[in-house]
A and B are shown apart, each in its own frame.
Chain A
Amino acid sequence: MELLYAMTTGVLTACGLYLMLRGRTFPVVVGLTLLSYAVNLFLFSMGGLTTDGPAIVSEENGYADPLPQALVLTAIVIGFAMTAFVVILAMRARSEVGNDHVDGKKEDRE
């Protein structure tokens, strides 16, 4: 299970990174979102993978580590805010520059 989880994180990371190397804004934003999924999964797994043990205090033993969860929870929300900011920036850049190339140069290289 650990191996499969790590592979998934790796594949998502690779796809996100590949998209971030593209030359147009939208794939870069999509890549960023994909990368943030991968990062969140990675961070989340730092507390180990626990089945059936949500971090709710009860009589039973064996909780999942709550700290990575708390960190990832805020990371998800902040990640959304950042994605939103970047995508609006991309829209603004397109309206100012006239194309959606990531380098923000005036001449359209299409």
Chain B
Amino acid sequence: MTLLWIALLPLLGVLVPVLTAQRGRRFCSMATAVLPATALVMTLLNVPALLDGEQLRFSATWMPELALDLAFRLDGLTLLFNLLILGIGLLIILYAHYYLAKDEPFGRFYAFLMLFMASMVGISMSDNLILLWLFWELTSLSSFLLIGFWSHQSDARKGARMALTVTGAGGLALLAGLLLLGDMAGSFNMGDVLASGDAILADPRYPVMLVLVLLGAFTKSAQFPFHFWLPHAMAAPTPVSAYLHSATMVKAGIFLMARLHPAIAGSELWSVVVSLVGIVTMLYGAWFALVKTDLKGILAFSTVSHLGLITVLLGIGSPMAILAALFHILNHATFKAALFMSAGIIDHEAGTRELKQLGGLKKAMPVTALLTTLAAAAMAGVPLFNGFLSKEMFFTESLETPVLGGISWLLPALAALGGILSVAYSLRLVHAVFFKPAREAPPKSPHEPPHLMRLPVEILVVLCVVVGLFPALMATGLLSLASQAVIGSPLDFHLAIWHGVNLPLIMSLLAFVVGIALYWRHADMRRFTQQFAGVDARRVFERILISIGYRAEQAIGALEGNSLQRYVGWLWLAALIMGAIGLVQMGNLTGSAGNQPLDGVLILGAGMLMFGGVATAATHRYRLISLLMLSVVGLFVALTFARFSAPDLALTQLSVEVVTMILLMLALFFLPQKTPRESSPLRNVRDMLLAGSLGLVIASLNYAVLTRDTLSISNFFVENSKSGGGGYNVVNVILVDFRGFDTLGEITVLAIAGLAIFKLLNRLRLFMPHSDGEGRVWSPDRYPAVLTSISMTLLPLALLVSAFIFLRGHNQPGGGFIAGLITAVALILLYMARGVEWAQARLDFPFQPVAVIGVAVATLTGLGSWLFGHPFLTSAFGYFSLPLIGTFELATALLFDLGVYLAVVGATLMILANLGKVTTAHRPVTEASEKETDANAATPSAQEPR
């Protein structure tokens, strides 16, 4: 259980700075440090159990269907990394306390930092591949936030984006690799995976998996050629660089390679790829560290170089090489974090990180100078410092490995070259900043930082020296635990400073002599490198991003070119092909069920439908005629429904037909009356062919279905309609009871569409024609007397009919939808006959609430069943009797249908009445825009559309 807490405490720690930021920085920093400190102590408390050889595991099922368990482990490797992450993390909190400027949001900074720390601890402790990947992604995200912390700087934003792109892409590759790995091992549990190394190596998918996993590790650990994001991530505040880019995040890739070493490392492919990438990275980074002039840039490239060194060791893969790799992880984290923090101090106190403006700082900052020199000595591998020990081990391993076959002699040579460069850039760093006289004055006059700001550096430098002096005492215990976790068996080793005069020692000496000489001739070398035009990785990266975007745009442009017609054309073509494929695969178009007999009425109806359809299409340039033809189709569709035993549908179609026509007529008033001829004949033929073929496909499909026996689930509805829903009209019972939830969704959509239209009409500026397409002026008789009197008579009748249709809906054709439409049509007729002014005076309320109330009534009816302990939308019904009237039925479904009714009335009127009002003083406007619209209105006088 303590394992879970170690993993969770830093995550809980994200909340601490957020909650305590109000209480001042001192309090906030101290409070933030509490939880990671506790986690560190808890980790250490587990050490005795670890030494006893106990398996420390915690596991809880989380999402078994995704093979994701909340599983943590604590072994030697985890211990090493937890100490680094939590220990250095605490030092960073202290350092950041002094580093951040007064007005900077430290609470937010600490929260990001804690999030990062929690995700690193998660990586280190995960005992499940998927869980490990989740934390891996979390480090990418939190480091994005940290690198981009100074979001006002363009450098920081671009650096953060680049880091996220590279590590995020690597993370995706890693996910694919881990899924393969888990599949090959048969389990996503870390222990099982590590134990099934042989099966994994024998699997044919091994190379693919290895490349994917290594892509993840290399991008994260800034290995060549993915190293370029790391120097640009230096735009982050220095505490972030010290923490993420030296001690922890860039080590995540190394950690992954070490963690999975037993499972995936035993192949030649691994050795060659990993050691080659490592050696190239090491030399590349070291070279650029030598020529950079920005303090943090030098450190960034030297980090790249050292990560390469560790990677080479993991590639070599012998037990002693693993040990050296782990040792160097520890050593590099200590001296590099110290150096970064020193660089931050110099930047903070001198105001610049440019070597040109720095120099001779020894006098102003003696203590910092001493600390930096010691840490740099450790980096260079000077004897009696920790860096010396792991570098000697590296040289030894490079001499002994057969990893590159016949050219394995190259490895020690390149290793020595790396050593030379590392001596040179370490020397340069110290000499140029502290000892060489300055060429330009720094922006601020430098002085020593507050003592507590220096404290983390002091602690780390002391560690460097103590480990360097007493390696056997200080590091043996930790390293034997860690190496045992990677190798699987205890390793017998002895850390010592003096091994006698041997080849590695000579290599070290050579590195020092040549390295110092190289720095001495540094000016010549700079001149030499200046001949080559430098490649700015960021610019290349951004150019690639832009060109990808451009290519994508071009491809889309070539395909559909922002043209709806082409887009729709492609869509139809795709549908045509898919449909045709389906039809071709069908053996026989006509099914077993034969044709029913035809009669004259049917032929007439079908003829009218086809005629109406073709006429609508043929006359589409004369819009009014086309619309009239469309209404013919609509009416005959209603008749079709009536003919084939669907009275509810016929009623609905009829009333919708009326409102649709009114709507389209109104719209046509504001749109051009004619369509210009613009399609070429060729295009018309093409479109006709496309539409015609698709029509054929649809007709064939429809015919194929109609001539086959259907297997319907409707028997259930028919059988339970009376007993379960209390209604005889099965269609209505389905709508308000069986499938009530669907209906609720649909009336919600209806209400939303109405509201959206209301918003669209808001502030709509329209061109209002004073004549029709042929130039005829609108009839002066706006409100014809016949229409007026008929509509007045019709209104109460229509409302009565709608009430009747509504009430009988449960048992006879009818219901809320139809009744709502009839009411809406009756009211619209009133608007048309008497004008908006007249209707507005009598119907002075907005329709939006009506629709909303409708949806609310339906929802509340559904919720009501909860009160009686039934599921949502369970309906109840009962029979009551009153004198005179007799027995009648009351059902909650009726209440639901009332909601439907209100929603339909509200939405329909919201659409039509508001559209009609657009031209009048009652047009929909929000209060804020009222003035503007008044000023813009073309003709405020009522010009009623008809």
List residues of A whose CB falls within 8 A of some B CB: 1-31, 33-34, 37-38, 40-42, 44-58, 63-67, 69-70, 72-74, 76-85, 87-92, 94-95, 100, 102-103, 105, 109-110
Contact = CB atoms under 8 A, between A and B. Distances in A.
Contacts of A102: 564-565
Given A37-B633, A88-B915, A48 B706 contact: yes
B753 A87 contact: no
B248 interface: no
B905 to A, nearest CB: 12
Interface of B: 562-565, 568-569, 572, 595-598, 602-603, 606, 609-610, 613-614, 616-617, 620, 623, 626-627, 630, 633-634, 637, 640-641, 643-649, 652-653, 656, 659-660, 663-664, 667-668, 670-672, 675-676, 678-679, 687-688, 690-692, 694-696, 698-700, 702-703, 705-707, 710, 712-714, 717-718, 721-722, 728-731, 734-735, 739, 742-743, 746, 749-750, 753-754, 756-757, 760-761, 764-767, 811-813, 817, 821, 904, 907-908, 911, 915
Contacts of B670: 91, 94
Contacts of A90: 667, 671
B613 A15 contact: yes
A6 B705 CA distance: 9
Given A69-B648, A84-B753, A11 B614 contact: yes
Contacts of A6: 699-700, 702-703, 706
Interface of A is mostly: helix
Contacts of A56: 728-730, 811-813
Contacts of B606: 4-5, 7-8
B698 A13 contact: yes
Contact of B731 (A55, A91, A105): A55
B691 A18 contact: yes
Interface of B is mostly: helix
Contact of A88 (B637, B696, B760): B760
A40 B595 contact: no
A34 B633 contact: yes
Nearest to A108: B676
B714 A47 contact: yes
A77 B904 contact: yes
Nearest to B609: A8
B702 A9 contact: yes
B908 to A, nearest CB: 8
A103 B764 contact: no
B722 to A, nearest CB: 5
A104 to B, nearest CB: 8
9 contacts: A2-B595, A11-B613, A11-B614, A34-B616, A51-B644, A70-B739, A77-B746, A82-B753, A83-B664
A69 B728 contact: no
B911 to A, nearest CB: 5
Given A64-B645, A69-B648, A72-B649, A57 B640 contact: no
Given A50-B645, A73-B652, A77-B904, A66 B699 contact: no
Contacts of B664: 29-30, 33, 83, 87
A76 B653 contact: yes
B633 A30 contact: no
A70 B646 CA distance: 10
A91 B728 CA distance: 44
Given A18-B617, A30-B620, A91-B766, A5 B702 contact: yes
A78 B746 contact: yes
Contacts of A14: 613, 691-692, 694-696, 698
Given A4-B606, A10-B699, A56-B813, 15 more contacts: A6-B700, A15-B613, A16-B613, A18-B692, A20-B568, A42-B702, A45-B705, A57-B730, A69-B731, A74-B743, A77-B750, A78-B746, A81-B750, A84-B911, A94-B671
Given A45-B705, A76-B652, A103-B562, A1 B735 contact: no
B907 A81 contact: yes
A67 B702 contact: no
A55 B718 contact: yes
A15 B611 CA distance: 10
Given A34-B633, A88-B915, A90-B667, A65 B710 contact: yes
A-B interface, 8 closest residue pairs, ranked by CB to CB distance from nearest = A10-B699, A14-B695, A6-B703, A17-B691, A18-B691, A81-B753, A64-B645, A66-B730
Contacts of A50: 644-645
